[in-house]
């Protein structure tokens, strides 16, 4: 493809209105918080299992 074809294929994005920008920001914040919560739950889960494994190893 030629550069001119690539440039014409990319459509410009209009700037968001302040209301839409705020909603989008909130949605992105929610997504980040969900990911952080999932990571923390997984970390706690792994820590719990690591503690169980160390207790089992000490018994042997």
In a domain, 2, yes or no: no
In a domain, 11, yes or no: no
In a domain, 7, yes or no: no
In a domain, 3, yes or no: no
**What is the residue range of 32's domain?**
16-59
> pLDDT tens per residue, the chain (60 residues)?
577 777 776 677 789 999 999 999 999 999 999 999 999 999 999 999 999 999 999 988
Tokens of 15: 């700037």
pLDDT at 1: 56
pLDDT at 52: 96
- Rounded to 5°, the CA angle 23-26-27 comes to 85
pLDDT at 21: 96
Residues 6+ apart with CB under 8 A from 56: none
* pTM (global) more than 0.85: no
Q: Can you tell me the distance from the alpha carbon of 56 to that of 59, in angstroms, rounded to the nearest whole number? A: 5
Total domains in the fold of the chain: 1
In a domain, 1, yes or no: no
In a domain, 25, yes or no: yes
In a domain, 42, yes or no: yes
Q: Please answer whether residues 16 and 24 qualify as being in contact, where contact means their C-beta atoms are separated by less than 8 angstroms.
A: yes
């Amino acid at each position: 493809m030629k550069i001119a074809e690539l440039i014409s294929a990319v459509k410009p994005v209009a700037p968001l209105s302040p209301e839409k920008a705020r909603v989008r920001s909130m949605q992105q914040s929610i997504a980040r918080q969900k990911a952080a919560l999932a990571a923390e739950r997984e970390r706690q889960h792994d820590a719990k299992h690591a503690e169980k494994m160390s207790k089992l190893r000490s018994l042997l």
